[in-house]
Amino acid sequence: MLQSMTGFSSGTITVPTQKGKLVLVIEMKTINSRYFEATCKLPSALSPLETKIISLLQTKLSRGRLYLTVRFSDDSEVHEEISPSLSTIKQYITAINLLKTTFALAGELTVSDILTLPNAFEQERREFHETEEKAILEAIETIVKKLIETRLQEGARLQVDLEKRFATCAQKIEAINIHFEQLMQEQKELVDKQLALVQTGDELAKHQLDDLYVSLNKMDIHEEITRFNSHLASVRALLIDAKPQDKGKRFDFILQELLREVNTLMAKCSHFTISSLSVDIKVELEKIREQIQNIV
């Protein structure tokens, strides 16, 4: 079971409070990232809960760049309480009266005028009760669960593609093994012929035999093929592992090992067919690399 780092979820959830109700409109979007990163846009009333919200999100999501937006619906009965800043307004009135007296200005100050004055009103941030905080966090957790469902659905699509590509790699490495065995058989037949000539005292054949032995040792890729198949077995086990967490990092490590074996194989054996099949494997592995960057 794979989980993608790409997902989206949203919802509107009503949270009862002691002073009415909060109707939260919540949206979450995640994209791939090496670590967990969160960007939260919250109403100022919820700012004190930001640390707890991020902690909850990190526990549930572990990796990916998250964008969270929370706002109050118009149906909410509880917002920040707004009250007039009496001291500020008093200073405004004092200053206005001073202007009128000093410069003999006419006119009266009205409520409409006060409404346009900067900082004439202040918002009082109310503290949420422990049970209210819990309800708000549970509301966010509900949307997180929906987000995880979309990430798992995307992960299932990724898994189908990865299984197909790894199966292709397995077929290619098997074809390489068949050609390698044929090549080794041909080389061994040449060795046998040179051995027969050496036994007759042919000095040139002796030098050619030494070259053949060096060539055989250099082109022996049996160890690389064996290790490549071993890494593929690790991939299969990881694909069917029921735990979806931390698979992206493990896939990345195994992929590096697979690429290392193919590169070594190509360096040791320059046979055209084997080199061509190795290139095909590298193409598949590069496509796989693009996909696993998005796996949790």
* Residue 74 and residue 86 in one domain: no
For the segment 72-84, the average pLDDT, to the nearest whole number, is: 72
* Residue 159 and residue 282 in one domain: yes
Other residues' Cβ atoms within 10 Å of the Cβ of residue 277: 23
* Residue 52 and residue 87 in one domain: no
User: What DSSP designation does 183 have?
Assistant: H
For the segment 130-146, the average pLDDT, to the nearest whole number, is: 94
* Residue 109 clears pLDDT 90, i.e. is over it: no
pLDDT for 115 equals 85
pLDDT for 44 equals 82
Q: DSSP states of 34-58 as a string?
A: SSEEEEEE--GGGGGGHHHHHHHHH
Per the structure, the complete domain to which residue 15 belongs is given by 7-78+128-151
- Grade residue 273 by pLDDT with cuts at 50, 70 and 90: very high
Does residue 2 fall inside a structural domain?
no
Where residue 201 falls (left for φ over 0; alpha for ψ -120 to 50; beta otherwise) is left
pTM, 2 dp:
0.74
Q: Which of 78-82, 99-103, 236-240, 241-245 has the lowest mean pLDDT?
A: 78-82
Strands 121-124 and 64-72 turn out to be unpaired
* Residue 117 and residue 147 in one domain: no
Does residue 1 fall inside a structural domain?
no
* Residue 8 clears pLDDT 70, i.e. is over it: yes
* Residue 85 and residue 74 in one domain: no
* Residue 164 and residue 203 in one domain: yes
Does residue 203 fall inside a structural domain?
yes
pLDDT for 51 equals 95
Does residue 104 fall inside a structural domain?
yes
